[in-house]
Chains A and B, each alone.
Chain A
Amino acid sequence: MNFLLSRNWNTKVLEPHAQCIARSGARTHVSHSSEGQVIDLTGSALWRHPWFTDPAWNPKQNRWEATVNPGLVNGEDPLVPGAEIDGLDEPGLLDAKALPLHRLRSVPGEEERVDPYFAALGVREPENPFSISALGRVTLDATTREDENPLPPRALVAMDFYLTVARATYEPQVSVVDASGTSGQVVDYSVTFNTDNLRRVGPRARLMQAAKFPAPRIPTFQDRLAGDYQAEGEDRQLVSTVYLLSPPNQLAGEPDATWTPYVRHAIFWNLAHAARNLPPQNAKPQRFQGTGLPLADMLIGPWLALQNELYQKVLNAFNTTSNEGRFWTV
């Protein structure tokens, strides 16, 4: 029978334990609880650029949150739908406090590979794609390429903060007129000026969060010519991406305090945004006479240089019927 002597317990077992008790140093504060030791930076007056995103674990709410340093768009702070402020349905970013991170995606995922930075920390590309789980529950395919990365495997989740600004849209309407009995010879073209989203949402920017930033959909020439796309009614700009990295050898579970946050900022300064938001100059219907070829030929005509003059007319018309706005640094 083996005995554990009390002096061995009090020295060999407890001494290493005692050495792990954190103490406050310069400009730091350590608070102890049954759940762990929280280290805070104190007394600092850090300069942070607009949109600086600072994720932190909230031990009281048991969740990850992030503060976004107020940035301004056209001189005003964006509204933050869903922010938790007493008495305000939709506070501005100047009033919003920490925002809970409640939409997370797994990385790698569909159309997203592991950044080499995280690959060097142990995040691996699965051999087979895996499903993106909801609310941060990570399920990673067990079959990873062990030989390529000797580090202990880790899971990675991420989410995006982004800005939206509503604007009017121009929606081209294209119809084929069968004037001579041969379908597709004549095309009628008109533009609808739609301000529904602008009137409903208003011109002030909004700070949103999503598992994945919905990149602006820019319609192609074919989309415009065919008139079969739905204008989005808003412009979007990525603000930052928050990543949460699991401890080594942990490939499942909801992110908790043991995970490590990383932030990739996309913008660093205040912004201006402008869209035309005026009726287009060529809103009146126009008619383009083809050369007897069907509409399908007209679609590929520009590349074949068979109908350059007609193509140029159509292109000129469409170039003045776009209302995509622009963000720029101020």
Chain B
Amino acid sequence: MDIRDLLVRSGDPVLPAVNRLALAQRALRLLPGRGILLSQMPGGVSVSARSAVRGFSGAWAVALSGRSATISLGFVDGLEPILDGKLLSGVDAKGNPLPEGAPRLKLTPEEFTPAGKSWIAIRAETDPETGRILAPKDQPPKLTLVQTKTLFSPEKDTVALHAVALLRRPAKDKQGLGTVHQIAFFDYQHRAAKQEGRWRHFFTPA
């Protein structure tokens, strides 16, 4: 759009200039693109851009690094998961940071469905009598994180699985780990209900 195309000189006919201006006026309509909100108000057009809120990551935020994943701290019933024999937060029993840092979950490209999906999930072992997560005194709780290609068939009904992130890769890619789609953002409370003789497990935000 060049305003010089609309300039006139003395003696120029008016009607063509008006027609050019009408077309140019149409080209001045404001149209909203991605992230833009236009509000047509009686006094004019209000242009709003969506605010760039960065960096929200709740509990269980998964980040891939090479063939492993780091998972930010989350709790289930106030219990901290154990990964590779270490607290998920990467501190020792006295609260001092471990020299090797937070534990990582090793990932394998074999643990994917044919459709290219895999999950990082909380795995909890529960008491067959009460349904509560096993947390023996002076011992780490039976609570950890695993990579799994199925969420619906734990080996026993006393084992609860709850996905915190979905890994997805193209179906043709047999070696990659794909990209992360975060599922969980909150700490959890775990409840179990016995139904038809089997435990069913429910995780709800705490």
Contact = CB atoms under 8 A, between A and B. Distances in A.
Do the two chains bind? Answer: yes
Interface of A: 4-6, 9-10, 13-14, 17-18, 20-22, 27-29, 31-41, 44-47, 54, 56-57, 59, 70, 72, 74-77, 94, 151-152, 247-248, 257-258, 260-261, 269-270, 272, 274, 276, 278, 281, 328-330
Nearest to B162: A330
Contact of B27 (A34, A40, A74): A34
A37 B42 contact: no
Given A17-B25, A278-B196, A329-B204, 14 more contacts: A6-B10, A14-B21, A22-B30, A32-B1, A36-B31, A44-B35, A46-B53, A247-B40, A260-B40, A276-B195, A328-B204, A329-B186, A330-B186, A330-B204
Interface string B17-37: 100010111111111111111
20 contacts: A4-B14, A6-B8, A6-B12, A17-B28, A34-B23, A36-B29, A36-B31, A38-B32, A39-B32, A41-B36, A41-B49, A44-B50, A56-B32, A72-B181, A75-B183, A77-B166, A247-B40, A272-B203, A281-B196, A329-B205
Contacts of B38: 39, 260
B88 interface: no
A210 to B, nearest CB: 24
Interface of B: 1, 3, 6-12, 14, 17, 21, 23-42, 47, 49-50, 52-56, 117, 119, 151, 162-163, 166, 168, 181, 183-186, 195-196, 200, 202-205
A270 B42 contact: no
A328 B29 CA distance: 44
A123 to B, nearest CB: 13
Contacts, number: 154
B92 to A, nearest CB: 31
Best-buried of A17, A36, A39 by chain B (most CB within 10 Å):
A39
Contacts of B35: 40-41, 44, 46, 54
A17 B29 contact: no
Given A152-B42, A328-B204, A330-B205, A37 B6 contact: no
A36 B30 contact: yes
B195 A59 contact: no
Contacts of A18: 3
A37 B181 contact: no
Contacts of B33: 29, 31, 38-41, 56
